[in-house]
Amino acid sequence: MSPDELKRSIETLESTAAEGALLAQDVAEDRSKATFVRVHSRDLGDVVVHEAEKLNDAEAGDADVGSAKTDAIDLADRIDTALGQLQVAPGSEPDGRTAEKALSGLSEDAGKLAEGL
């Protein structure tokens, strides 16, 4: 896996987490229907899991890429967990606030990781 390929994958994680944060904000502010939140968070989670699978299957060419790849897989797992919180409790405003904070932070973390490549 080249640094550019890894960067694109991390950027996908970054944007998916950011979109999840917006969805979570709607939940926190009671501005969304439970069915929409459940389906959309599941779709976002599928994107994240797919990226994690691709990352896991790819071979890192050097130590720096290998380290960033491991960090990206960890980020994907944490993003998926936060999105799962929305799936389970799509109408819970407190859970929405928690997920929003987590997903916003994870999106920023992914952005920093991508910049480092």
Query: Which ranges in the chain belong to alpha helices (H)?
Result: 3-28, 34-57, 63-88, 93-115
CATH topology of domain 3-111: Four Helix Bundle (Hemerythrin (Met), subunit A) (1.20.120)
pLDDT higher than threshold 90 for residue 35: yes
pLDDT above 90: residue 103? yes
pLDDT tier, 110 (very low <50, low <70, confident <90, very high otherwise): very high
Q: What is the pTM of this model?
A: 0.94
Rounded CA-CA distance 68/57 in Å is 14
pLDDT at 38 over 90: yes
